Amino acid sequence: MALMEQDIQVLKNKPLFGKVALVTGSSRGIGADIAKELAGQGATVIINFVSNAEKAQQVAEEIRGFNPNVHLVQGNVSNREDIDRIYEEVREKFDKVDILVNNAGITRDSRFVKMTAEQWEEVIQTNLSSIFYMTKKFLPEMIEQNYGRVVNISSIIGQAGGFGQTNYSAAKAGMIGFTKSLAQETAKNNVTINCVCPGYIFTEMVAAVPEKVQEKIIAKIPMGRFGKTEEIAKAVRFLVVDGDYITGQCINVNGGMYM
């Protein structure tokens, strides 16, 4: 259904109207809600997906119900050739990217003694190396225009560790170090670099965990429940919309599980 003129006018009054936001891994879960949240603030949103075009299209259609400015780009951010293609496709359609949310991530859990080199490399490449290559592509234009917002989605596991997750923990901890260092380089250019560190969020992955295991996890969370994907999206929105003087920080959204 086409938006009415008054709906378009409301959109133009939103704080991110005229800004272009690229969210990696945004066809589902946390990434999808981040895309929706930023679109709700008026941004033109680029949804990135790897293989599930149907899911990505569903997210795009939902966004188009209140913001027509949405674009889909396929590509695996663990693959440098795909990243080059993503960049070219985005630059062909838009003259800039103002907001980059590095959200794409995978898990390949295993006790360290049984972890394969492939499990290690796949997680490091997707969760950590991708933020280097994606940010490397889009950061120069942010610096040139003297405005940019980069938000990296890390994890409580990168702060506190996790059994059977040395690969995931190393990657997510690396994201935090990356954020703190790069923030020092770009602050003078009005480009902020921040992290959001989710705790245990109720995603498809958590939903698949046996109920008894879920209960044990919840027992360790002071707020007594799993987080919601939209609560991560709200933290990202805050950093992008209102975080003008915030850079190099990790915003913990974990119900008090890690402080």
Active site residues: 168
Q: Is 146 left (phi over 0), alpha (psi -120 to 50) or beta?
A: left
**Which residue is it, tokens 């066809």?**
27
- DSSP-derived 3-state class of residue 241: helix
**Would you say 237 is a known binding-site residue?**
no
**Would you say 69 is a known binding-site residue?**
no
Query: Cβ contacts of residue 69 below 8 Å, gap of 6+?
Result: 39, 43, 44, 45
**Would you say 28 is a known binding-site residue?**
yes
Q: Which whole-number Å values give the CA distances from 208 to 168, 172, 204, 205, in the listed order? A: 19, 22, 6, 5
**Would you say 108 is a known binding-site residue?**
no
**Would you say 123 is a known binding-site residue?**
no
DSSP 125: I
**Would you say 80 is a known binding-site residue?**
no
**Would you say 103 is a known binding-site residue?**
yes
**Would you say 245 is a known binding-site residue?**
no
The binding site for NADP(+) comprises 25-28, 76-77, 103, 168-172, 201
The binding site comprises 25-28, 76-77, 103, 168-172, 201
